[in-house]
A and B are shown apart, each in its own frame.
Chain A
Amino acid sequence: MDIKVRVWRQSGPSAGGKMVTYDVKGISPDASFLEMIDVLNETLILNGDDPIAFDHDCREGICGACSMVINGVAHGPEKATTTCQLHMRKFSDGDVIDVEPWRAAAFPVIKDLVVDRSAFDKIIQAGGYITVPTGTAPDAHATPVPKKDADAAFEAATCIGCGACVAACPNGSSMLFTAAKITHLGLMPQGQPERDSRVIDMLQAQDDAGFGGCTNAGECTTVCPKGIPLSLIGRLNSDYRKAITKR
């Protein structure tokens, strides 16, 4: 199929950027979206142009590296799908497709479609863990975990840290990401001792890193490739209220 892409080009963190249009001809509908960009980049290089920079690694929807806003939607049109798992057969011949980076105050653009998401690591540093130095653990069967809690914890823990939720949020809030971690650890018996300090510290770190506040717009969960539900934010808020009153 023949398409046009309009891609955000920005040479560096402090440079200005603009949308540039490219023709991509004869692309297979079986190619993934990133493979389409690969093909375009090969042409750009041979023509002496600067290829488009973008983050990617696993190309299987699990590492969370890929991050493109496609036609205004973080990760593009297919539900519960990362950019790397989106295929060209979801588009039509002749389409003009807009491709932009995540845009959020806490995720500054580094180059073209590559942004700095290290603010997410800062949130985890603040409390997104269970303190258990290596070698100090009791036998794995010492504490049974009800299956429904373990399953629910797993669902929350499938967050890939891609940041689409932040990119989609009108406030640039990271609440869904943080709530997923709070839920995962808060459902496990092992996570109880630090439950209060965790939620307080992670929320503080979110604010410090420049993420916006949550106004329940719900855009985050719509684009989330792992289907992390909005209800987890409710859970986070309730954990936070309990923790604060205990202080």
Chain B
Amino acid sequence: MTTDFWTEGEPVVDKAAPDGPVETRWERRKFNAKLVNPANRRKLTVIIVGTGLAGGSAAATLAEAGYQVKSYCYQDSPRRAHSIAAQGGINAAKNYRNDGDSVYRLFYDTVKGGDFRARESNVYRLAQVSVNIIDQCVAQGVPFAREYGGLLDNRSFGGTQVSRTFYARGQTGQQLLLGAYQALERQIGLGNVEMNARHEMLELIIVDGKARGIVVRDMVTGEISTEFADAVVLASGGYGNVFFLSTNAKGCNVTASWRAHRKGALFANPCYTQIHPTCIPESGSHQSKLTLMSESLRNDGRVWVPKAQKDTRRAADIPEDERDYYLERIYPSFGNLVPRDIASRAAKNVCDEGRGVGPGGLGVYLDFADAINRLGRKAVEAKYGNLFEMYERITGEDPYETPMRIYPAVHYTMGGLWVDYDLQSTIPGLFVVGEANFSDHGANRLGASALMQGLADGYFVLPNTISNYLAAGPFPKVTASDAPVVEARKQVEDRIEKFLSINGDRTVDSFHRELGQIMWEYCGMERSEEGLTKAIGLIRALKEEFWTRVKVPGKGEELNQNLEKAGRVADFIELGELMCIDALHRRESCGGHFRAESQTPDGEALRHDDEFSYAAAWEYFGADGRPTLHKEDLNFEYVHPSTRSYK
């Protein structure tokens, strides 16, 4: 099919996927993968971009195995990767509760949670490996929560019926990342990893059809260098910041993935974004990011808005019968505990009706008055004390006295570079791990499963699959004077030169904010053909304006944070367009995405398995052409597609 916005190409096939019984696929893939003799590993170099859970664990593990590793991150220390901010926990099918959990159940829940848009083989492997992750982390000294008997504590997370989530207070990501970071530092100390902090990858180097290196900028001196290896791994995280406001760290970006995409790597399901319902709303035009508050708050808080539009009374002055507890009203059986996507969309709907609360009418109440009456203030404090404190610190309001205000925010991106079962992209020798790939979460990610995937990829999957590729190496030496290297370097230098020379009248941030507004309005929780078509036009115009009016101060040869941002925003603008095209082509509601034209008579999401049971992998469109769609068909042999219902 060809439309104004895209063309359709050949299907994409996962050639590395094993067949046969799902339970033994990973075993068989590992057995059939070629190995590299320990003596030869020293001769092989792997570049890893990113030091989050995925990149940090991969770098440590590959170095332990004897490969030469070169690691990169944009922060001043690998320990600060965005994984550090994850709060809730990490899933694993340990069945320590004896509550009927199993690898199969975790697999089943994750495929279903992804709304039947993920690969069964990958998800099964993820569930299998989850068990090893917990063992590894405990051995590293990760201080998980424990019970009085000294054994690990678990909780139920995101509406699952079993307790399989391991956690470390509200700081699980921090503790897991420090475990990986410490293992990585040990390898750095031993000389097995060359760590390059404050270095940003700006281009991929492909020689003879294989990924052989990257172009990086030293963010302190501005020096551009070319780095070579036998394989390149991207572990550069998600692209939620395309929305400007998100719960991601300010530096999170798509540049590493986007540069690879421009050089031929397919980008899959870019429109799959997760929007989290319980974030602290914006407080004004200065807002630079949004803060997530644990979903657990919905266990005891009741969500409501005034029945009347534009009701400016204080919450306390609005009588009970003038309040609309809309989740309880619309979803009587799940009430305030409906899944993330449903809670988010319902909040947006009531605000769109003009019934939102707080600055700009972009918020709904999450009220603990009933819980405080029922359980007593002490009990509420014991459960949620630190979250209440955090809320008060940010908003200056006391949630024991006035209800919290919450609003949905972009939180995670399920889409990413397309990879096969080996986590290899469509460019040979380019592997992608963690949030940067698209592999395991389908159209919606369950709580506590991103940490699991990052560590599964880095500790256990990649180290086993990359050897199959590296077994054919070492590959012929690449030097700085090879034509593709010279060209990649020149692309980077020219782009920097261009940013600095435009000298326009708008800041990089002003463009980023504008892009974010377009994305949130038209490619957020609810999408329509009309809105998406409009958004594509707006983004194209924004792109033109960016390249003529942006003002980037300073020089290239110095620490220049606006130059860094300019490169990231330029890539976000291109990604934004592809996200809208992907969303436009997917004329179904699935996972976290509601497509206005695809709903049931009572306004619920309607999936179209007959037409859309595939992953959409996009080929780069060249400067202004149309992207090409390559479909990867999804087959469900074990978990049969069904419809979710929460009424």
Contact = CB atoms under 8 A, between A and B. Distances in A.
A12 B96 CA distance: 55
Contact of B141 (A62, A136, A138, A184): A184
B144 interface: yes
Contact of A63 (B75, B148, B189, B509): B75
B393 A144 contact: no
Contact of A130 (B139, B174, B291): B139
A86 to B, nearest CB: 9
B308 interface: no
Contacts of B138: 137, 140, 143, 190
Given A45-B562, A136-B139, A117 B146 contact: no
Nearest to A145: B150
Contacts of A150: 143-146, 150
Given A50-B554, A81-B393, A145-B146, A133 B286 contact: no
A146 interface: yes
Interface string B188-208: 110000010100000000000
Nearest to B134: A140
B610 interface: no
Contacts of B459: 134-135
B119 to A, nearest CB: 24
A6 interface: no
Contact of B174 (A81, A132, A136, A158): A158
Contacts of A121: 77-79, 185, 188, 195, 197
A184 B393 contact: no
A55 B289 CA distance: 15
Contact of B148 (A111, A117, A139, A147): A147
Contacts of A126: 189
Contacts of B186: 125, 129, 131
Contacts of B139: 130, 132, 136-138, 140, 190
B286 A27 contact: yes
A99 interface: no
B291 to A, nearest CB: 6
Contact of B84 (A63, A136, A143): A63
Nearest to B251: A57
A147 B505 contact: no
Nearest to B142: A157
B136 A62 contact: no
A129 B80 contact: no
A35 B283 CA distance: 11
A28 interface: yes
B284 A28 contact: yes
Interface string B445-464: 00000000000000110010
A54 to B, nearest CB: 8
Interface stretch (B57-65, B298-306, B631-639): B57-65
Nearest to A112: B559
A77 interface: no
B138 to A, nearest CB: 4
A12 B395 CA distance: 36
Nearest to B389: A80
Given A85-B394, A124-B182, A129-B186, A65 B80 contact: yes
B362 to A, nearest CB: 14
A143 B525 CA distance: 45
Nearest to B291: A60
A161 B77 contact: yes
Contacts of B393: 81, 85, 87
Contact of A134 (B64, B168, B251): B64
Contact of B150 (A29, A85, A130, A144): A144
Nearest to B197: A118
B132 interface: yes
B288 A35 contact: yes
B602 interface: no
A233 interface: no
B145 A63 contact: no
A38 B250 CA distance: 12
A130 B140 contact: yes
Interface in A1-47: 11-12, 27-32, 34-36, 38-39, 42, 44-46
B551 interface: yes
A147 B168 CA distance: 12
A55 B76 contact: yes
Contact of A59 (B146, B195, B288): B288
A134 B182 contact: no
B188 A125 contact: yes
11 contacts: A11-B558, A51-B561, A57-B250, A60-B85, A65-B80, A81-B393, A126-B189, A130-B140, A134-B60, A134-B463, A158-B174
Interface of B: 57, 60-61, 64, 75-80, 82, 84-85, 94, 96, 132, 134-141, 143-152, 168-169, 171, 174-175, 178, 181-183, 185-186, 188-189, 195, 197, 220, 249-251, 283-284, 286-289, 291, 393-396, 459-460, 463, 505, 507, 509-510, 551, 553-554, 558-559, 561-562
Given A35-B288, A190-B141, 6 more contacts: A118-B77, A121-B78, A140-B138, A140-B139, A146-B150, A190-B138
Q: Which 4 A-B pairs have the closest CB atoms?
A: A144-B150, A125-B189, A137-B139, A129-B182
